[in-house]
Amino acid sequence: MASLTEHLSDLVAEVDAVLLFSPTSSFYERFADDGIEVVVVAPDNDVDAETFVDLPLPFDNVKDRIRFGIEGAMDADLVSEGDEVACVASVFEGGSDAIVRVTVDESIHTGIFDLFANSRAEPSVIRDVFEVAIELGQKGQKGKPVGALFVVGDAGKVMNKSRPLSYNPFEKSHVHVGDPIVNVMLKEFSRLDGAFVVSDSGKIVSAYRYLEPAAEGVDIPKGLGARHMSGAAITRDTNSTAIVLSESDGLVRAFKAGELVLEIDPEEY
Ligand SMILES: Nc1ncnc2c1ncn2[C@@H]1O[C@H](COP(=O)(O)OP(=O)(O)OP(=O)(O)O)[C@@H](O)[C@H]1O
Ligand SMILES: [Mn+2]
């Protein structure tokens, strides 16, 4: 009778590469000099991996995390279409506990890596805006759910395709997302209407912008309203990324080139 190890060895048979998600050093060491392509996907390269993909968010959804890693590895030409990849990840806290075998093909590709790494705005700026949106989604505004819309990158063009709803509190300021004080301000202003416009380098250009992009041909999931539609559409009209917190369902969504790329639940973070 075959052993369990034999039954399950198919999962890793003849893979072209192994992706290790946030491995411990000792786990990573096991793979050294194995002859197989090993890619570490983690928030920091703590294990001094030779090939490393920088993970900007923990991605509680394991599918998103794996997609990000694979798209990142494709971007760096470490894996390519048709490759078989074994992804070793942690689903529960505390170490690598899952293996997912994936064939690299177009169906994997959602643009989740490009969203961070290949946007016009700096990756850290996109990440910082995500963090504000997630935090806002967790806490709401004085306990009540709030919505918010952030348009990140290509700010000059975004300003041209929008108009002010009220005075701009960021008019003469030079504040950047990621500064702790700014996060407090953003949360405060999120009670009011319109969008925040953020530059490529993270400067907050404006609050209270009413977006007026052309919306024809923008195809977003049914049930999403004007905030999401205008956010999605501006990313087709300009080279920006929209990060939207929904007041009604509490999810944070990201749009790029007019399409929904990522959807996350702040309560999972
Ligand atoms: N074109 C726009 N530009 C900027 N902000 C907008 C625009 N359209 C709507 N909003 C903002 O979105 C808010 C919510 O609108 P609406 O309910 O239609 O959007 P939604 O996509 O359903 O978002 P939610 O899920 O948060 O309800 C509005 O009160 C307004 O502040
Ligand atoms: Mn709504």
ipTM of the complex: 0.99
Mutate to test the pocket of ligand 1, among 211, 218, 227 (most ligand atoms within 8 A of CB): 227
Retrieve residue 202's tokens: 């993270």
Name the amino acid, one letter, at 113.
F
Q: Is 137 helix (H, G, I), strand (E, B) or coil?
A: helix
Distance 150 CA to ligand 1 centre (A): 12
Per-residue pLDDT, 142: 77
Per-residue pLDDT, 235: 97
194 with 234: CB under 8 angstroms? no
Per-residue pLDDT, 265: 94
Distance 132 CA to ligand 1 centre (A): 18
Q: What is the largest CA-CA distance in the chain?
A: 75
Retrieve residue 79's tokens: 């894996």
Q: Which residue's alpha carbon is nearest to atom 5 within ligand 1?
A: 194
Q: Which of 103, 106, 10, 117 is nearest to 53 (CA)?
A: 117
CB of 247 shorter than 6 A to ligand 1: yes
CB of 234 shorter than 6 A to ligand 1: no
Per-residue pLDDT, 1: 63
Give the number of other CB atoms < 10 A from CB of residue 197: 28
**What's the pTM value of the predicted model, to 2 decimals?**
0.92
Per-residue pLDDT, 34: 79
Number of helices (H), then strands (E), in the chain: 8, 12
Question: With b meaning 16 or more CB within 10 Å and e meaning fewer, what string describes 53-66?
Answer: bbbbbebeeeebbb
CB of 240 shorter than 6 A to ligand 1: no
CB of 147 shorter than 6 A to ligand 1: yes
Q: Which residue's alpha carbon is nearest to atom 31 within ligand 1?
A: 193
* pLDDT tens track, the chain, 269 positions: 679 999 999 999 999 999 999 999 999 999 877 789 999 999 999 999 999 999 999 898 999 999 999 999 999 999 999 999 999 999 998 789 999 999 999 888 889 999 998 899 999 999 999 999 999 999 887 788 999 999 999 999 999 999 999 999 999 989 999 888 887 888 788 777 899 999 999 999 999 999 999 988 898 999 999 999 999 999 999 999 999 999 999 999 999 999 999 999 999 88
Distance 210 CA to ligand 1 centre (A): 9
198 with 150: CB under 8 angstroms? yes
Q: Is 52 helix (H, G, I), strand (E, B) or coil?
A: strand
Strands 37-42 and 162-164: unpaired
